[in-house]
Amino acid sequence: MTDQQRLLSAYDDQLRTDAEASGALSVVRHGPLFVLTFAGGRGFVTYRDLDDCDAHGIAELVAAARSHFESDPTITRAEWKTRGHDTAPGLHEALVAHGFEPEEPESIMLGEAASLAVDVPLPAGVSLRLVTEESDVRATAAMQDEVFGDPVGSATGDDLLRRLAERDGMEVWVAEAAGEIVSAGRLEPVPGTEFAGIWGGATREPWRGRGIYRALTAARARSALAQGKTLIHSDSTEFSRPILERSGLLKVSTTTPYQWHR
């Protein structure tokens, strides 16, 4: 078994179904599907595989999930997260036919935390730190909203503060220069697994290409190791994928989120 196969097997075994259901308000089963409801009116569909269903069977599963979301007025949006290595004939067509719109595919990146936990020199005047105070968390959220092109509001900060209050091991890391947050990202240990996820990586454009994101990733990897997590996972855009590959992570597959809105 190659490193890529070993990591992908660990991903499928440890990071799907139960791991993605953590924190859900409700879990409903439809065949192989876990149809989840989270706080804030968010639905989500996960599964280990689709039980070798043919296109007709997959269309029935998609219809069941859509019907579930429509029947619950508290759910305003939902995501079906596909994986490129799954056997899923007709899934794209069924999702689109039932009102799920695909977003851009991302790379599933996996690797050893130790390969990322290296010393990375920072530009002069830039420092890293863990943030926990509300004002810092909200400033971080606002920066991420700006970088991702989203409207700056309270929602992202509210969600981060709620997660931090749960004390589930999630951490928010930032890089600062002259008192300004120039890069940020989360560490999310996954209970009951070997994995921690690195998410939300965002760097202001003038500060890109200077090693800051890689240093922030190394800091999170060191923290993951301190929490007993030996593997790192991330769904990466084409901005972050090359950085993570240089750090030693492998692209093992792709994932595409399909979004449904009421």
Both 234 and 189 in a single domain? yes
Mean pLDDT of 103-129: 95
pTM of this structure: 0.90
Both 51 and 115 in a single domain? no
Please give the pLDDT value at position 102: 97
For 186, phi then psi, to 5°, come to: -105, 155
Please give the pLDDT value at position 173: 98
Strand partners, 184: 174, 202
Both 90 and 119 in a single domain? no
Residue 219: inside a domain: yes
Both 209 and 132 in a single domain? yes
- The SS3 of residue 100 is coil
Mean pLDDT of 191-196: 95
Please give the pLDDT value at position 168: 84
Place of tokens 């005047």: 125
Give tens-digit pLDDT for 235-259.
998 888 888 888 889 999 999 999 9
For the chain, what is the domain count? Answer: 2
- The SS3 of residue 239 is coil
Which of 24-38, 88-102, 146-160 is least confident?
146-160
Between 29 and 243, whose confidence is greater?
29
Strand partners, 231: 112, 195
* Consecutive H or E run containing 135: helix 134-148
CB 25 within 8 A of CB 41: no
Kindly report the average pLDDT of the chain as a whole number. Answer: 94
Residue 259: inside a domain: no
Structural domain span for residue 245:
111-253
Residue 2: inside a domain: no
Please give the pLDDT value at position 40: 85
